[in-house]
Every structure is written in C-alpha cells, then in structure tokens.
Amino acid sequence: MKKAKKGLYYVVTTGIFLLFLIPFYIVLVNAFKSNKEIVDNALALPKSLDLSAIVDAFHKMNYVQTFGNSLLITLASVVLTIIAAAMCAYLFARKDWTINKIVFMAMVVSMIIPFQSIMIPLVKNFSSLGIMNSRLTMIIFYVGANVSMAVFMFHGFMKSIPYELEEAAKIDGCTQVGIFVRIILPLLKPIASTIFILNFLGTWNDFLAPFIILSDNSRKTLPLMTYMFTGQYFTDYALVLAGLILTMLPILVVYIFMQKNIIEGVAQGAVKG
C-alpha cells in the first residue's frame, strides 16, 4: 500500500512538473521557427535551427541598451529595498515603541492593496510632478512597492537573532551602526538572498508599471520591447518568442546561480519563524 501511494505521488508530481514545462517548451521550440512553421504546428520541433528570429529580435529590441535599462532599474531598486527594509525591520524588532507597531501594521496591510487600484492616481501624481518617463521614477516606485514585504520578512527573521550578541558588542565598545553593519547584516544574508531573488524576478518581469510610466524607447525595459512585436492586425510570433527568450535568459542565469541561497533562506526562515 505504501509503495502504491509513493508511486502515485511520483506520477502526480511528475505530471504537474511536465505541465509547468509546456509553456517553456513552446517558447523555446518556436523561437527557432519561421511564422509559417509556428502557425502550421506550434508543438512540433523545428525542422532546422534557424537563428534569424533571435538575431532580428536582438537588433530590433536594441538589446544592449534595453538590457542595461532593465538591469539598472532592477538592481538599483532591489539593493535599495534590501537596505531600507533591513534598517526599518531592525528598528521595529528592537524598539518596542507604539508608533513602530502602528507603522509595521500599516506596512503589512499595504501588502494586500493591488497595484491596479492605485495605478491611475499614481500616474496622475507622477505626471503632475513631471517625473514620468524616468528610470529614477521606476526605481523609486519599485522600492516603495516592495519594501513592505521585505520589512515583513526581515522582521520575522530578525526577532530570532539573540539580543545578547548586541549587548556583548556594546560592552566591547561597538556603536549602534557598527552593531548593525558588523553583526546584524551578516546574519541576515540567507533571508536577504531570498528577498533579492524574489524582488529581482518580480521587477525584471514586470510589464504593467513600466508600460504606463516609460514611453521613450531608449528608457524601456526588455518586456516592453518584446511587446513591440505585437500589433492590432498582425503579430510576428517568431520575433515575440525570440524576444521572450532574450528576456528570460538573464533571469534564468541569476536564478541558477542563487537557487542555493533561496532554498537556504526559505529553510532557515521556516525553522526560525
């Protein structure tokens, strides 16, 4: 009976895994086809390894500049989010002030507010301030959008750090800033890695916010430039799928190199939480 249950478990999990792989298969296979081949049979393997769509998409997307925009916006916003959230969570975890509890609860509640509900007022405010179509605006927006979740995750992790470590450092003459930089931050590395990759993935793949804020092609991100290949009456599927490959490739590399840190952060957070 146990063997039957174990076998059923593996069959179900393998089936779900293959189901999730179908979109990746379709994108990968069709990126090396012509539009005619895609329309004829989107699930079939390519007859030949045609790289023309990849090369064409690379040039039409102005890939080097657009990649730089995505990297700048994503990296800057994620790093600033981690720094701001770590300092904020440290204050919340170590100072039992009433105002801290109120602000922390407000930040937690703000996590359930969907972006679509504040999209129009946000755009109006950005427009009135004259900061639309700016990469700096995107960075500020993402820091504000992601900091609440980061504070929540840091706060839960930080409460498990023994306060005795800080008291020992104070006896040795370490300042408050020194305690935070030399003791607290190194201990936050696992959860910081998890926050980094989650925010990196979300920011890199985001389409809606850059779509309504960025209008100049020289400032657009990779998902926006991929959307350029779609039209009202005609969509160049070969270029769209090639663009998706070029957009996904950097984030896959980041995930592969950091997956160990993600698993470690999630595991430690679960145990300490």
Domain presence at residue 107: yes
| Total-model pTM | 0.86
Residues 6+ positions from 229 with CB-CB distance below 8 Å: 57, 60, 235, 236, 239, 240, 243
Confidence of residue 262 (pLDDT cuts 50, 70, 90): low
228-250 pLDDT, tens digit each:
888 766 778 888 888 999 998 88
Task: Extract the tokens encoding 185.
Answer: 């931050």
CATH code of the domain covering residue 114:
1.10.3720.10
Q: What is the pLDDT of residue 273?
A: 45
Q: Please name the residue that has the structure tokens 């298969």.
A: 25
DSSP labels, 27-60? HHHHTTS-HHHHHH-TTSPPSS---HHHHHHHHH
User: What is the pLDDT averaged over residues 72-85?
Assistant: 96
Q: What is the pLDDT of residue 232?
A: 64
Domain presence at residue 118: yes
Q: What is the pLDDT of residue 167?
A: 84
Domain presence at residue 33: no
Environment class of residue 2 by beta-carbon count within 10 Å: exposed (0-12), middle (13-18) or buried (19+)? exposed
Domain presence at residue 220: yes
Task: Extract the tokens encoding 87.
Answer: 């300092």
Q: What is the pLDDT of residue 177?
A: 85
Mean pLDDT estimate for the chain: 86
Domain presence at residue 94: yes
Domain presence at residue 264: yes
151-196 pLDDT, tens digit each:
998 988 888 888 888 888 888 888 888 888 888 888 888 889 889 8
Tell me, rounded to whole angstroms, the distance of Cα 57 from its chain centroid. 23
Q: How many domains does the structure of the chain reveal?
A: 1
Domain presence at residue 212: yes
Domain presence at residue 49: no
Which residue range forms the structural domain that includes residue 146?
64-272
Q: Decide: 122 and 56 in contact? Cβ < 8 Å.
A: no
Q: What is the spatial distance between Cα 199 and Cα 150, in angstroms, rounded to a whole number? A: 9
